[in-house]
């Protein structure tokens, strides 16, 4: 059993995420399991803060929008003609849109439907929101060679091929 978070350990975190006003954004119903060591399994600032922490340690990490889901970008809000959409659309639905050159895919959410127009928003729902993570280090174990090779956790709480 590993006792300290170092590169190439698999870390299990019990967590909750709140906004700065204390409203719960994610109740952490399922623990967060990630491969530690720069594999992009978790926000980099949280990973840096967790490095060297021990089993059972508790910490609070506040992320500004630029360290989480980015700032809110007004240019990602578009008003489209409703004729471009299927008839059964509803506010809250999401769809993928591929850029004109076929390269970049973005997820847009429908935020309003009125007067033959549909308002879509390409921002992440948490863009522009600071996040407060309350974390407890629940488990630390050495990663397997396969997990390190693939850059993510396998098995319980992880990625399956």
Rounded CA separation 17/155 (Å): 24
Q: pLDDT by residue (tens digit) across 74-118? A: 999 999 999 999 989 999 999 887 777 777 788 999 999 999 999
Cα 66 to chain centroid distance, Å, stands at 13
Rounded CA separation 79/49 (Å): 41
List of the chain residues with pLDDT < 50: 160-161
Write the CATH number for 111. 2.40.10.330
- Residues 64 and 78 reside in one and the same domain: no
Q: Which residues contact 152 (CB under 8 A, 6 or more apart)?
A: 34, 35, 39, 41, 158, 159
Phi, psi dihedral angles at 141 (to 5 degrees): -145, 155
Rounded CA separation 72/26 (Å): 20
Rounded CA separation 113/155 (Å): 42
- Residues 59 and 35 reside in one and the same domain: yes
H helix or E strand, kind and range, residue 46: helix 44-50
- Residues 65 and 141 reside in one and the same domain: yes
- Residues 14 and 53 reside in one and the same domain: yes
Rounded CA separation 117/137 (Å): 48
Q: Residue 129 has what pLDDT?
A: 96
pTM over 0.85: no
Within 13 Å of residue 102, how many CA atoms lie on the same side as its CB? 0
Q: Is 4 inside any structural domain?
A: no
Q: Residue 161 has what pLDDT?
A: 47
- Residues 65 and 78 reside in one and the same domain: no
| Boundaries of domain holding 107 | 74-121
Nearest Cα residue to 143 out of 28, 23, 42, 9 = 9
């Amino acid at each position: 059993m590993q006792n300290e978070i170092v590169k190439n350990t698999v870390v299990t975190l019990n967590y909750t995420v709140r906004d700065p006003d204390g409203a719960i954004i994610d109740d952490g119903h399922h623990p967060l399991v990630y491969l530690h060591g720069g594999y992009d399994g978790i926000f980099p600032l949280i990973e840096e803060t967790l490095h060297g922490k021990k089993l059972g340690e508790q910490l609070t990490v506040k992320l500004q929008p630029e360290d989480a889901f980015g700032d809110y970008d007004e240019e990602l809000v578009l008003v489209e003609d409703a004729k471009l959409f299927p008839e059964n659309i509803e506010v809250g639905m999401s769809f993928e849109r591929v850029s004109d050159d076929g390269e970049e895919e973005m997820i847009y959410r429908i935020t309003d439907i009125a007067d033959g127009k549909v308002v879509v928003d390409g921002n992440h729902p948490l863009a522009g929101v600071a996040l407060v993570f309350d974390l407890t280090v629940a488990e630390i174990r050495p990663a397997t060679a396969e997990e390190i090779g693939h850059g993510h956790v396998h098995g319980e709480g992880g990625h399956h091929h």
